[in-house]
Amino acid sequence: MTDKLNKHDCEMQLCNFSDIRHIFEDFHYRKGHMGGGISQCFAMLMNNELVGGSVLGKPRHESKYKNFIDIRRMACLDDAPYNSESWFLGSIIKYLITNTDYDSVLSYSDLTQGHIGTIYKATNFIESGQTSPTKYVEWNGKTYHMRSLTIDRPYSYEMRKAVDEGNATVKTGEPKIIWLYDLTKRRKKRRSKVFLKTYGVSTLEEFL
């Protein structure tokens, strides 16, 4: 695969989770298990070849993040061209601005994994603090959120048993950086640009 990203070769599509699950299994440290609901899934194609996937869902703390959408997973192939993820995320943002009424996008970068949020800085997210140090479970070579121990799923029963028997380990990691993107503000800017273009002026003062 080429090292240089050609935007004309790229396409973003809505998809089903089953279409992109293998991307997370192979290229995301949290693998393919998704705790909580899924709202939307997106695929990134390059010359009609699947090179990335993303899953969005409701934030876990809905009372705090009302009318937000959370980027639950995002991953691209290891040999995808440089800037593939930022193009993909930017395309998702454009879709959300045009096709949804969410107020903001929420995401996290996991310092335990050495993720400092480069992709979010590149797409104009705002750093908005950090979580408490995160606890997670390592089991069968995969990393799971602590919540996986408490939900009502068959693999959760097996995981709890593995922890009790010493075959899975609960660990404490670093905090996660919280990132926010204000969709409402971006929509207002877009409407203003359309208004000014419609009336052939460059500022509201000229129109008034």
- CATH class assigned to 7-130+176-182: alpha beta
Residue 162: both structure tokens together: 């593995």
| Sign of the dihedral through C-alpha 30, 36, 42, 48 | positive
Tell me whether residue 161 is exposed, middle or buried, using C-beta atoms within 10 angstroms of its C-beta: 0 to 12, 13 to 18, 19 or more: exposed
* Nearest-angstrom CA–CA distance, 144 and 59: 17
* The pLDDT of residue 196: 45
Q: Specify the pairing of strand 10-14 against strand 40-46.
A: antiparallel
Other beta carbons less than 10 A from residue 53's beta carbon:
26
* Nearest-angstrom CA–CA distance, 30 and 21: 11
pLDDT tens, residue by residue, 87-120: 999 999 999 999 999 999 999 999 988 999 999 9
pLDDT tens, residue by residue, 124-165: 999 999 999 988 898 888 888 787 888 887 888 899 999 999
Q: Does the pTM of the predicted model rise above 0.85?
A: no
